[in-house]
Amino acid sequence: MTLTASAPPAVDTSGECEVRLMHPDAVARVQAALPSPEAVEAATERLKLLADPTRYRVLSALAREELCVCDLAAIAGVNESSMSHQLRLLRAHGLVAFRKEGRMAYYRLASDTVRPLLSPSLLKG
């Protein structure tokens, strides 16, 4: 039995530049305006928090009104222990804040900065 090598499949490069750096001034301007590596890391960590369905539901609910832990657990379909864990993560990243009223903890969005990321219009492709 003889094995023959086949050519690798052709790669479509029609959408790529044939020149490596055509506009060095534009590249320099954009690079100077980009966020610092630390800011990029912080932003991507926050976006990862939104990628979890439970946390996304929680933040979406809190964008409407302040809610207690047990109500958030019911909305998200998880037990209160799981909800408390999710809320601790969101609190640690500054996305939610809470207040105590007796034995109840009520959560709200910590700021309006997360609201645009919860917009249904972002999800339409």
Domain residues for 78? 37-111
pLDDT tens-digit map of 103-123:
999 999 999 888 888 877 655
Looking at per-residue confidence, does 46 or 92 come out higher?
92
Please give the distance of CA 29 from its chain centroid, rounded to a whole number: 27
Q: Is residue 5 part of a domain?
A: no
Nearest to 67 by CA among 49, 48, 90: 90
Whole-number mean pLDDT of the chain?
87
Tally of structural domains, the chain = 1
Residue 70 lies in a domain: yes
**What radius of gyration do the chain's Cα atoms show?**
23
Amino acid 94: pLDDT: 92
- Give me the pLDDT at residue 67, please: 98
Residue 6 exposed, middle or buried by CB count within 10 Å (0-12, 13-18, 19+): exposed
Residue 26: pLDDT band (50, 70, 90) is very high
Residue 94 covered by a domain: yes
Is pLDDT above 90 for 85?
A: yes
pLDDT at 118: 84
pLDDT, tens digit, 9 for 90 and up, residues 51-69? 999 999 999 999 999 999 9
CATH number at residue 99: 1.10.10.10
Residue 42 included in any domain: yes
What percent of the chain stands above pLDDT 90? 61
DSSP code, position 68: E
Residue indicated by tokens 């946390």: 55
Q: Is the pTM of this model over 0.85?
A: no
